[in-house]
Amino acid sequence: MRFKTDHLIYGGDYNPEQWEDREDILEEDIRLMKEAHINEVTLGVFSWAREEPTEGEYDLSWLRRRVDLLYENGIETILATPSGARPRWLAEKYPEVLRVDETRHRNLFGRRHNHCYTSPVYREKVWEIDHKLAEEFRHHPGIKAWHISNEFGGDCHCPLCQKDFRNYLWEKYDGDIDNLNHAWWNTFWSHTYDSFEQIESPSPRGENSVNALDLEWKRFVSHQTTDFMKHEIAALRDGGAMQPVTTNFMYDFDGLDYEELAKHLDVISWDSYPFWYGKEDIISASEHAFYHDVMRSLKKKPFLLMESSTTSTNWMPVSRLRRPGILENASLSAVAHGSDSVQYFQIRAGRGGEEKLHGAVISHYGGTDTRIFGETRRVGEILEGLSEVAGSLCDAKCAIIYDTQNRWALEDSYGPRNTGMGYHDLARKCYRGVKAAGLDTDIFSQDQDFSGYKLIIVPMLYMFRGDFAERVEKFVKKGGILVMTYWSGVVDETDLTYLGGTPHGLTDVLGLRFEEIDSLPDAEYNHISPVSDNSLGLTGSYFADKLCELIKPNGASTLMTYDEDWYAGYPAVLEHEYGKGRAYYVCADMEEEFYREFIPAIAKRHRIKPLIADVPYYVDVASRVNDSCRYIFIQNYGVLEEKVKLPAGCEVLLGSADGVLPPASTTIVRVDL
């Protein structure tokens, strides 16, 4: 089903069931929402106990009335299924719906997200309530989309889940336990299985030394969660609901392989809660921009920012306020990177419970004469003026391979560093390099097709699955530019190391092979300097820490070398021409500034055109395109004014007309194609 909106959606989670005794508050909320230019609310995320107060007795009249009223006032609804938290009666009558933890203890009733995805009873009860909601709202013109459950995550180790796990493995390994033993290297420590019946999920009290078991368990959890989500979607469809479906993903969450879930959703959405650093806001902005790009890349289509906060959250270690202008920047960052919405958790702050002190559009004070309400209204005005951006896409020439399954394997494996391999941080540094080059980038796993891009960046891809290496070889041979880093191509999909040279299958493409990897203790580092007359014209020296590889060149030429320790003079950055393309290899964990010189130099040399030239450190640039024009978003996150050269002939939609960017501000320009 296609998700489409002709305007940018502005709204967020709204919980009117917490205020049923306050008719005045409902009226006031609608008035305030209109004043803030809000055109959407997300309802019912945790309303099961109100929708089905006792088993089989439903009451949706309160919800219907609110959906109607909001719609009459120009506010559409994204309606949630309530499976993220269950009513007390359900857990009491059917204890099997409660989750069992990895030590094999069943949880008590409480909190949310505390349910088994396998339990037939839970699935049946969820089916019934979802079906009822679908029957009630399937024809309602105010329903924009369905929001399935909430922030899927976590695992359950109950007997039902164990049984399904064994079935999953049985299918995958063709019912042949020797296949599995071989792929998991189970002769190690005499852990061979005699039958699938003996397999148990990983546990700190039992098996937790088989990396392949850990990996398959994570794959199974993704599979089972996806299956549960599909079950919910099927209930809605069976109930006659034909609106698009989504579910809200999370930041930096590696508990699920989102690519698996994404296949079954009509539109991707996610919840973005940056920690704002003040002077260094660019760090957080860039991290979240990275994830906006991840989310957009899941379908290569606009996504929705499902949740964010108007001000601080209440669950971070410290609840830092954001300085003026940052709310606008954060909201427009989502739009810049492909979102067709800006939504908040929450519209009105509740009076009790864990989230009463979380930021909201409407505070406990309730007035509009506050900084936050003012900024929220301003964002609403800006979004209303940017309707033409809705639906526009991204035509990135660059792709970063960032792979959840790789992360699982990399971080689970013992050695070479058990105090953090820094995968996410490395990807983020590469991303900053791409952004310094003034480029857009897609970000996706190794399973996706990258053949149409000009530049692919492959940070620390420890696990190569399927025909990845062959596809990379073909890509470079035909003229593609590859950047690969240390610790790539080491293991296969069940974490068995490859034999022969690594990066597996790419030693000819890269003109080198791996020899050894040194892991540096915290606070120790090496330095890297360019060789004179290197082909990229690199001039900076940088520090490297965490991991330093020793590489044996075999055709590749050296661009930079290590300065210190007994491997001073060994290559640290190499390049190799292969077919019509070129492959670069980075041997060590370099600081961000290295990537901010290296990637722009590559882009320049290979004529990949920037959106704007010379992007300053505190500035993020991204673009969206439609058939007739490109929208370029230029955001200054710094505390000082910055200056850029705007594209010739552009029309300014917001912000600066002369390229002078005030602190914490966004400029948007349109360029005709």
Is residue 310 a contact partner of residue 352, using CB atoms and an 8 Å limit?
A: no
Strands (E), 277-397: 304-307, 341-345
The site partner of 118 among Zn ion, ligand GLA, none (C-beta below 5 to 8 Å per kind) is Zn ion
**Whose Cβ is closer to Zn ion: residue 100's or residue 586's?**
100
User: Nearest distance from residue 315's CB to ligand GLA, in Å?
Assistant: 6
Q: Which stretch binds ligand GLA (CB under 6 A): 190-198, 307-315, 424-432, 639-647?
A: 307-315
Catalytic residue among 52, 76, 151, 216: 151
28 is catalytic: no
**81 is a site residue for ligand GLA (CB under 6 A):** no
**291 is a site residue for ligand GLA (CB under 6 A):** no
**288 is a site residue for ligand GLA (CB under 6 A):** no
SS3 label, residue 528: strand
Q: State the residue for tokens 């349910």.
A: 115
List the interface residues with ligand GLA, window 340-379 (CB under 6 A): 345, 355, 358
**442 is a site residue for ligand GLA (CB under 6 A):** no
Evaluate the CA torsion angle 277, 278, 282, 286 in order and state its sign: positive
User: Nearest distance from residue 305's CB to ligand GLA, in Å?
Assistant: 11
User: Nearest distance from residue 265's CB to Zn ion, in Å?
Assistant: 23
User: Nearest distance from residue 225's CB to ligand GLA, in Å?
Assistant: 15
The site partner of 150 among Zn ion, ligand GLA, none (C-beta below 5 to 8 Å per kind) is ligand GLA
**Whose Cβ is closer to ligand GLA: residue 341's or residue 665's?**
341
**592 is a site residue for ligand GLA (CB under 6 A):** no
The site partner of 441 among Zn ion, ligand GLA, none (C-beta below 5 to 8 Å per kind) is none
Q: Which of 98, 158, 544, 599 binds Zn ion (CB under 5 A)?
A: 158
User: Nearest distance from residue 122's CB to Zn ion, in Å?
Assistant: 9
**Whose Cβ is closer to Zn ion: residue 98's or residue 458's?**
98
List the interface residues with Zn ion, window 96-125 (CB under 5 A): 116, 118
Scanning 200-257, the segments in alpha helix (DSSP H) are 211-238
Nearest by Cα to 399 from 500, 475, 511, 464 = 475
Q: What tokens were used for 180?
A: 């599995």
Size of interface with ligand GLA, in residues (CB under 6 A): 11
**313 is a site residue for ligand GLA (CB under 6 A):** yes
Rounded distance between C-alpha atoms, residue 334 and residue 313, angstroms: 18
Backbone angles phi, psi at 431, to 5 degrees: -60, -40
**Alpha carbon separation from 329 to 163, 376, 542, 654, 660 (Å, rounded):** 48, 12, 31, 12, 16
Rounded distance between C-alpha atoms, residue 529 and residue 531, angstroms: 7
The site partner of 151 among Zn ion, ligand GLA, none (C-beta below 5 to 8 Å per kind) is ligand GLA
Instruction: Give the burial string for 73-108 (b: 16+ CB within 10 Å, else e).
Output: eebbbbbbbbbbbbbeebbeebebbbbbebeeeebe
Beta-strand relationship, 9-13 and 665-672: unpaired
HSE at residue 367, side-chain half, CA atoms within 13 A, is 4
The secondary structure element, H or E, covering residue 477 is: helix 468-477
**258 is a site residue for ligand GLA (CB under 6 A):** no
Q: Which of 32, 70, 148, 156 binds Zn ion (CB under 5 A)?
A: 156
The site partner of 161 among ligand GLA, Zn ion, none (C-beta below 5 to 8 Å per kind) is Zn ion
**Whose Cβ is closer to ligand GLA: residue 358's or residue 429's?**
358
User: Nearest distance from residue 175's CB to ligand GLA, in Å?
Assistant: 40
Is residue 331 a contact partner of residue 272, using CB atoms and an 8 Å limit?
A: no
**273 is a site residue for ligand GLA (CB under 6 A):** yes
**Whose Cβ is closer to ligand GLA: residue 224's or residue 310's?**
310
The site partner of 156 among Zn ion, ligand GLA, none (C-beta below 5 to 8 Å per kind) is Zn ion
Q: What tokens were used for 100?
A: 């069992």
The site partner of 502 among ligand GLA, Zn ion, none (C-beta below 5 to 8 Å per kind) is none
52 is catalytic: no
**Whose Cβ is closer to ligand GLA: residue 13's or residue 620's?**
13
Nearest by Cα to 587 from 661, 518, 486 = 486
**Cis omega (within 30 of 0) on the bond before 521?**
no
**151 is a site residue for ligand GLA (CB under 6 A):** yes
**Which residues, in sequence order, are CB contacts of 154 under 8 Å at separation 6+?**
99, 113, 255
Nearest by Cα to 588 from 530, 535, 634, 519 = 519
Active site residues: 151, 307
Where do contacts with ligand GLA occur on this chain (CB under 6 A)?
A: 150-151, 248, 271, 273, 307, 313, 315, 345, 355, 358
